[in-house]
Structure 1
């Protein structure tokens, strides 16, 4: 659960389980204790997961120091094995103390029931004492222990309030009993203390059970990897632990088994169920050469795969880590809760003292004043405040992961519900990303009758590139069985194309704009290029340097190449669904305006309303995100660029670097989400308010984005915004009820309208209601 340790100052992270936390005050206390340890950069404690994530730099003894700090604060650091064991306990674990408390408290509460029926059942004082004392000091020992640790640290928590309140009620009853005249029937309050402790124990048990449900997504992901793999060695097929598998090994996977690690299919064909990883309900057909993901389920075929990733490098481990990161993080809204919880217990103690003095000094009996003060102590519940946010985040991120939406951090989750503009990269996001070479138009000159030779040269120049258009050129050459060889020299020109040397001749291949910069005019092909662009094709060109020695170099255009892509299935409907939610959609493309607008219309977008950003260089995408956020040239009423201020007429600001957030500190008119899949989308994903990376894209894009969509399905964008909206709504509901409960309950108890038993029931109910409300998110399903 920790990254490899080193003795340098490079940051490490450590996850530590923490036992004994009960409320938001405990969270703040542990965080303060951890941050006091030298070398700790940050510490985040999560009450719902009962764990801490610490970023630190230091030597190999730092984990031990951090655990010592937790123990000194009065809590118990847990090992990974202890945390795993806690997750695997029976749903009924921990119920025994509650049942014992109920059996002992029931006879004490019986007279209360009798009073409602007009009967006066009163147990002898000595019997009440015998029943209540074990509940108070045996079953309630956990409250004394945790409360004492809080006192030693000069802080307070829920346990301290329960311990003080119930002890006051028990002690008052003992005093009244011992000081009563012989034979007198004195009303005692043993039942109040015993029932309150029993109710609080019941509430904590229900809360713990609900917590285990919120972590079900993590447990389900961990359970996806098999324990063993069928390894092909020198002696044939042997079953080995998955931990012993190495990259390059060959494994057999039988029908119905899960793939143990990531790999490439070598032999056989099958249908693979990837629903637990991507949310895709239909099996995916796999042939030789296809990628296989660990954790997915093999269909009807017995297949042989070659391992490409193991351990923490697998897709399943990456997904699990993202979900764990999101559930361990704090949402920005949690800062308010932290500030309140820091002063909550001292304020409640002061209110209880004020209640005691007010009732006593106003002429009421001392025991009446004590009971009302006890009610104030018992009803106050910082526990619900501490659970409100993390419980909703855990439930929301867990159910989102089930449907292929990985939310990397709580900030992205909280921000996504505010999005009112979504910008989409075109290639690979809205389109299939697999363009085909549809036309090769050779210019008049030495190659006028040799189109295949021009195609072969273009394929040689593009043979080492991963760009979709480059792959399309190579694929067209392979279809014609043209020989492809590596160029003698090759250099990529970002955002323009590439240049290289073939047979000692210098060639450039790239965009028409670059050809103009090189001084290679289209000439007679100008009209043809325009016609192809109007048809929606992306047009590139290849040019040859005329003279290798002249400066500046001059070039001659050899041919035009037209490429066409197809919209992704369902992309048009997904964009329409976003617009129906009141969200504006914009397509960002490096293509010329004619090609970009033609594709936009096929997708249902409206170029005339500024929904197309064309001829955008990769380095300028991040700057355009800032433009969208700052509302430059945007109609405030419609959220779209006006016809009088087309995108192309605006000059983007300086290109922000990867990972920077150039809009930070500036006022936003719009909250912008960027959806992309390529390396060149990473700066824009980082610069947008919310970055969404297609899981079918590059690792760089996914690292820069706050949300990863495991399928290349545009409909998941609306689903991600929807689960964000619902999760934030649950957080707000939980915080409202947690605050409202205390704001209403404490005054009612202070004014004498609530006795300790009702106050204890209300306190137990508050935490359970918050957890139950958060768990309703598990019923969420993406809209069809």
Structure 2
């Protein structure tokens, strides 16, 4: 568990950033108070506080004067912690959610003991309420009620007085202040009535109300804490993927045998042995052996991926049945797993735009409630009610108005939504991207590598009359076996699909730049190249000319195979749609979204591929012949007219377009079964799709829609609860006990509603 505060550093004039935990926050008013205290510090650029994670993120400008050192950063960090403490809260290190490490006494978590003790002391006070239902009088003597209620009020409830006092000193209010004032009023009223009663007189006391309210509030906060821990399960699951040790191979000098070393000590270049069933300890390349890697926790891809020497593996993925040797490539913060964890934590720490409304309400909520409670007291007294009755109604107003649910509504939903999305290979960079994505009406796709495989394939080989197609393929593959050109690779791969064929041996092979390849095969000169080259050489296509025209019109790249002074075959190359690309387009169309493909191909090729994918060129869903530098301008054009646009690309050459869109989605991996997004993808895009599956686009928009829906539901119920509860309490329809139970239930219900997002699955 990490218990150290990491001091941020930054170059002169750059923003420094610090994340720290904050203890003692309980409601939306606490959040506003801490943020105000932090923003008052000189140099602070922004401060964001999250109630659900009980953390704060502070950014400030690094010193620009000459001689600025790390001491300045340490001083600013100390000031930030002091400001939190002066505001009445406890600055502390952010504990990594690596499992349930709650201390226990006799098998009961320490944080549950105050609740249990409160119940034990409050139960005898509540028995008369139960007895009244059966016409039984189980009222305890006044001294017994005093003995039971006082420890609950001033020992178990001490936290409310402490936090409420800090709020008063800061001239603000919070949940604890409302609870402290309300329950103290009930306890003091009971003590006063008991003190002034005649010996032997039976008076109605209200000790049970104060004790039960404090116990219910403690119970609600404990249930909240348990629910909050569930919202961080996604991060805990990711962190659990990291093994503790790695098997370091001998280097022949210092180590002569395999040594088990902590993963934290690994260095790039280390050679490790990974045994069957173990997790890969770091990002690496396979050096020896073959295996299958299960990357489902990182990419959401359920099928194992075959790994052979030269293939990359991701730290945290599960090794299959093969023992392999790997060479470490990235460790620590540079590893894919750590970057994923950092992205999820960043998303959960950010504040959604809708939260600004909540903050504005919370800033004035508690003072308004105090005024309403005072008005309630005076109104009942004016109407002739006994002082104790008027006071009880005012106490009910104070208890039911606590803005706990209001502060938890948005961050709880964001934490649950981003967490479950990460488990399915969708990394959401921040809450802003999450909130905007549900409004997307146009989805623009880059073609190559996003909707298509990005690797040319030999689609068709058309031989001239009298020429054997298999012989022509074997001849072309022999000539291009040593070439690095993508079209040459496509020919060689096509030959592999026919195990009975063998490439014919070639010699004197020479690449002709911009034209093709020529060499000797079985003693005769053979050429494979563009139709333009054939025309330059005076080699006519003959009967193949109509086929060449047709294939080009369909968008294929056409090459010719020639020997003996004439063209003997045509080779048509083209990209292939990714698996699931057409399904993804159809899903988006079914949801009423417009889709657009942006391609650098000529219009004929682009429209031919678009129709294979289910796009509609006649409705403007194809943008062809677009240069890489012009993609961002095309995205900006799509945004005209207040349209929300999502751009999907590979995150490298599409970075400007991703940044220009309202929501950028960087598709990780090269081709299918990729290793996840590049650094450019993670920085330029608001959402990173960890595997090259276009169907994740619809899934990302869906989880955004569902999360925003949960936020709205939570905010509605949080506001509705207070709007309805305060008048009912003021009119005398709610007792303090019922108000306390309702307050606790509201917070738990908001968290429970948010946790329903954990059941989400793509396509469900």
Fold-level similarity (TM above 0.5) = yes
- TM-score between both structures, scaled by the size of structure 1: 0.82
Deviation string 1:717-766 (CA, Å, 9 cap, x unpaired) is: 11111111111111000000000000000000001000100000000101
Report the secondary structure of 1:100's partner residue: helix
- TM-score between both structures, scaled by the size of structure 2: 0.84
Deviation string 1:284-320 (CA, Å, 9 cap, x unpaired) is: 1111111100000001111000111111111101111
Report the secondary structure of 1:679's partner residue: coil
Deviation string 1:698-725 (CA, Å, 9 cap, x unpaired) is: 4323321111111111111111111111
Match of 2:665 in 1: 692
Match of 1:672 in 2: 645
Q: 1:348 aligns with which of 369, 387, 412?
A: 369
Deviation string 1:670-711 (CA, Å, 9 cap, x unpaired) is: 221111104221111111111111111543233211111111
Q: 1:598 aligns with which of 602, 608, 623?
A: 608
Asked whether 1:245 is paired with 2:266, we answer: yes
- In structure 2, what is the Cα distance between the partners aligned to 1:85 and 1:602? 48
Q: 1:101 aligns with which of 109, 118, 127?
A: 118
Q: 1:28 aligns with which of 27, 32, 36?
A: 32
Match of 1:637 in 2: none
- In structure 2, what is the Cα distance between the partners aligned to 1:159 and 1:85? 29
Q: Contact 2:97–2:235 (CA<8 Å) still a contact in 1?
A: no
Deviation string 1:561-619 (CA, Å, 9 cap, x unpaired) is: 96411111121122111211112222111111110111111112221222211111111
Asked whether 1:617 is paired with 2:649, we answer: no
Deviation at 1:529, TM superposition (A): 7.2
Asked whether 1:60 is paired with 2:70, we answer: no
Deviation at 1:182, TM superposition (A): 2.5
Match of 1:38 in 2: 42
- In structure 2, what is the Cα distance between the partners aligned to 1:139 and 1:702? 47
Match of 2:556 in 1: 537
Relative to structure 1, the CA distance from residue 618 to residue 440 in structure 2 (aligned partners, 3 Å threshold; closer, same or farther) is: farther
Deviation at 1:181, TM superposition (A): 2.3
Q: 2:177 aligns with which of 136, 140, 160?
A: 160
Deviation at 1:350, TM superposition (A): 0.6
Match of 1:582 in 2: 592
Match of 1:114 in 2: 131
Q: Contact 2:267–2:331 (CA<8 Å) still a contact in 1?
A: yes
Match of 1:683 in 2: 656
Deviation string 1:114-146 (CA, Å, 9 cap, x unpaired) is: 222222321111111011000000000000011
Deviation at 1:523, TM superposition (A): 14
Asked whether 1:778 is paired with 2:755, we answer: no
Q: Contact 1:87–1:212 (CA<8 Å) still a contact in 2?
A: no
Q: 1:259 aligns with which of 280, 284, 287?
A: 280
Report the secondary structure of 2:205's partner residue: coil
Relative to structure 1, the CA distance from residue 81 to residue 708 in structure 2 (aligned partners, 3 Å threshold; closer, same or farther) is: closer
738-747 or 72-81: bigger deviation: 72-81
- In structure 2, what is the Cα distance between the partners aligned to 1:511 and 1:425? 26
- In structure 1, what is the Cα distance between the partners aligned to 2:416 and 2:48? 19
Relative to structure 1, the CA distance from residue 31 to residue 86 in structure 2 (aligned partners, 3 Å threshold; closer, same or farther) is: farther
Q: Contact 2:102–2:110 (CA<8 Å) still a contact in 1?
A: no
Q: Contact 2:50–2:349 (CA<8 Å) still a contact in 1?
A: yes
Q: Contact 1:622–1:684 (CA<8 Å) still a contact in 2?
A: yes
Q: 1:754 aligns with which of 731, 734, 737?
A: 734
Q: 2:147 aligns with which of 123, 130, 140?
A: 130
Matches within 5 A, 1:379-418: 379-418=400-439
Relative to structure 1, the CA distance from residue 146 to residue 84 in structure 2 (aligned partners, 3 Å threshold; closer, same or farther) is: farther
- In structure 2, what is the Cα distance between the partners aligned to 1:86 and 1:27? 25
Report the secondary structure of 1:673's partner residue: strand
177-186 or 47-56: bigger deviation: 177-186
Match of 2:696 in 1: 716
Q: Contact 2:457–2:576 (CA<8 Å) still a contact in 1?
A: no
Q: 2:214 aligns with which of 193, 197, 216?
A: 197
Match of 2:471 in 1: none
Relative to structure 1, the CA distance from residue 610 to residue 363 in structure 2 (aligned partners, 3 Å threshold; closer, same or farther) is: same
Report the secondary structure of 1:188's partner residue: coil
Q: Contact 1:456–1:483 (CA<8 Å) still a contact in 2?
A: no
Deviation at 1:8, TM superposition (A): 2.1
Q: Contact 2:355–2:410 (CA<8 Å) still a contact in 1?
A: yes
Q: Contact 1:232–1:252 (CA<8 Å) still a contact in 2?
A: yes
98-107 or 477-486: bigger deviation: 477-486
Report the secondary structure of 1:95's partner residue: helix
Deviation at 1:484, TM superposition (A): 9.5
- In structure 1, what is the Cα distance between the partners aligned to 2:54 and 2:308? 44
Matches within 5 A, 1:503-514: none
Q: 2:14 aligns with which of 3, 10, 15?
A: 10
Relative to structure 1, the CA distance from residue 687 to residue 470 in structure 2 (aligned partners, 3 Å threshold; closer, same or farther) is: farther
Matches within 5 A, 1:294-305: 294-305=315-326
Q: Contact 1:694–1:702 (CA<8 Å) still a contact in 2?
A: no
Q: 1:608 aligns with which of 604, 614, 618?
A: 618
- In structure 2, what is the Cα distance between the partners aligned to 1:219 and 1:484? 56
Match of 1:327 in 2: 348
- In structure 2, what is the Cα distance between the partners aligned to 1:678 and 1:578? 21
Deviation at 1:238, TM superposition (A): 0.8
Deviation at 1:528, TM superposition (A): 8.1
Report the secondary structure of 1:9's partner residue: coil
- In structure 2, what is the Cα distance between the partners aligned to 1:606 and 1:75? 58
Asked whether 1:706 is paired with 2:686, we answer: yes
Deviation at 1:84, TM superposition (A): 6.2
Relative to structure 1, the CA distance from residue 357 to residue 375 in structure 2 (aligned partners, 3 Å threshold; closer, same or farther) is: same
Q: Contact 1:533–1:592 (CA<8 Å) still a contact in 2?
A: no
